[in-house]
């Protein structure tokens, strides 16, 4: 992974790392106030990204949040979420890419995804009700 990662935005850092590894992630589209998301795939899986609106001191450590979703009966269901510091570092980018790839491309089950996110230092899982 490139050493320029620390100077990049999170989305650019993740896309660059994926490209370097030959991984084709779905395209992220921008939304208002520092958010982006992928379009739901055939199984309804998608990811959102947002810059948390918190103080600069909090943002330095937990400044962005990734959320993993699945569309069910025309309503999105949150599966898991994890946060990362505002400035991407190579190890954090690699960890985020692993979780995004597992959920979006490798078809991890909800349980496997939740277990992987639970191992993330700033991960959280949610109880899913259908």
pLDDT in tens, 21-68: 999 999 999 876 678 999 999 999 999 999 888 888 888 777 899 999
Whole-structure pTM value: 0.85
**Distance from C-alpha of 42 to C-alpha of 121, rounded to nearest angstrom:** 30
Q: In what order do the strands lie in the sheet with 123-125?
A: 28-31, 35-38, 45-51, 64-72, 75-84, 123-125
pLDDT band at 1 (very low <50, low <70, confident <90, very high): very low
How far does CA 64 lie from the centroid of its chain?
A: 9
């Amino acid at each position: 992974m490139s050493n320029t990662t620390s100077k990049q935005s999170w989305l650019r850092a993740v896309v660059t790392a994926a490209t370097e590894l030959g991984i084709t992630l779905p395209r992220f589209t921008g939304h208002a106030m520092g958010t982006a998301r992928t379009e739901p795939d055939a199984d309804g899986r998608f990811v959102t990204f947002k810059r948390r609106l918190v103080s600069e001191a909090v943002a330095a450590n937990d400044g962005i949040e990734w959320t993993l979703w699945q569309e069910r009966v025309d309503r999105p269901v949150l599966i898991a979420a994890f946060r990362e510091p505002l400035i991407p570092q190579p190890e954090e980018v690699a960890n985020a890419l692993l979780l995004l790839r597992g959920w979006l491309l490798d078809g991890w089950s909800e349980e496997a995804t939740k277990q992987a996110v639970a191992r993330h230092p700033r991960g959280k899982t949610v109880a899913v009700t259908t």
